[in-house]
Each structure stands twice: as C-alpha cells, then as structure tokens.
Amino acid sequence: MNERIRAREVRLIDPDGGQLGVKPLPEALSIARSMDLDLVEVAPDASPPVCRIMDFNRYKYESAQRAKESRRKTTSTSIKEMKYRPKIGTGDFDTKTRQVAKFLGEGHKVKITIMFRGREMSHPELGKKILDHVAETVGPVAKVEAEPKLDGRNMTMVLAPDRRAQQAGRVEGRRPEAAGDGAGPG
C-alpha cells in the first residue's frame, strides 16, 4: 500500500475499474494522492504489478462485513444423543421421540442409543424393534444415516435431518394458513 510498494512501474487501475496503463510508481502515487485515495497493490506477482486506486479503509471495512455475513449464514450442526432402555414405557418413549424430532427439526443429527443391562443383552431384537419404531415415528423429517448396530452393551443408530422432506413440510404448512385467512367463524 502507498509507499510500501517496491516496484518501479505498476499497471494502474482507477477507482471505477478502468485501466490507466503502466505508470512509474511516483506518478501513480501522485495520481492516487490527487484523488485523496490510496494506491493498493492487488496483484504483486504480475509483471508489472497491478495497483488499484481505492479507499483502503473502506475496502477493509467492506471485506470484514462480507466475512461477517458469510459466517452468519453458516449453520452449525452437532450430534445430539438420546438414550433409551429396552423396557421403556410408552409415555417416556413418546416424550423422548418428540425431543428427537425437535432436534432433527433444528437441523441436528441425532444418535439414538439403546442401553442394555444384564440379561437384556440376550435380546438385542428388542433394541432393534425400538430403534425401528423411532425411525418410523420421525420418518417424515429424518433419514437413517447409520443403521442400528450392536456396540458392546449398547445398540446405536444415527438419524440425520432430511432437508427435502422438511422443505416440503414447510410448503405444505403454509398452504392451509393462506387458504384459512378469511374463512374463520365470526
């Protein structure tokens, strides 16, 4: 930038993007100063190096804003875990499965673990049955990413949110609201 540029000649670009040609460095600096702007080296490896006349502080600010905006648009997904037991009651099952559906709706992956104790280990089909029931219950918003597998005393399965099914659900959710705007009793 400005006096730190070490090249003798530079290819000069004006603030609007038009080329001013190859100029000696002192002349390029005087042109930039006459416009109250900075001379910034944008392509140092070119021959001759390319320099642009711009307001460097404004450029830094705008690039920081673009970076901030791109960070804001990224979504962070994490893996949530829900633990079940083979002898789970229907109320507990429904509550835990609703929580799994909520996690999936927020865009998180969910690892479902069936914990076996003692003699329950001799009946892994009970755990498989529970995992299949969970997958069937949250099927509209999720897809099975990792099939159920026995891992020591636990059986695990990973569910991931199904983006296409969620978008279709949102579109269908909007239609009844739009149709029902003026149709209420009153």
**Residue 164 pLDDT grade (very low, low, confident, very high; cuts 50, 70, 90):** low
Tell me if 102 sits within 8 A of 58, measured CB to CB. Answer: no
Task: Supply angle C-alpha 89, 95, 99, rounded to 5.
Answer: 140
C-alpha span between 47 and 60 (Å, rounded): 25
CA nearest neighbour of 78 among 99, 112, 113, 108 = 108
Is the pLDDT reported for residue 78 higher than 60?
yes
3-state helix, strand, coil in the chain (%, to 5): 45, 30, 25
**CA neighbours within 13 Å on the CB side: how many for 63?**
6
Strand order from edge to edge, sheet including 19-24: 19-24, 9-13, 50-54, 38-43
Q: At 122, phi and psi to the nearest 5?
A: -80, 0
AA letter at 14: D
Instruction: Dump pLDDT digits (tens) for 105-149.
Output: 888 888 999 999 888 888 888 888 888 888 888 888 888 888 888
Q: What is the average pLDDT across 77-81?
A: 83
Flag whether pLDDT at 173 surpasses 60: no
What is the full DSSP assignment across 41-109? EEETTSSSPEEEEE-HHHHHHHHHHHHHHHHHH-----EEEEEE-TT--HHHHHHHHHHHHHHHHTT-E
Once rounded to an integer, what is the mean pLDDT over residues 2-23?
81
Binning pLDDT at 50, 70 and 90, where does residue 180 land?
Answer: very low
- What pLDDT does 172 receive? 53
95 pLDDT band, cuts 50/70/90, is: very high
Tokens of 13: 């670009």
Give the strand pairing for 9-13 and 50-54. Answer: parallel
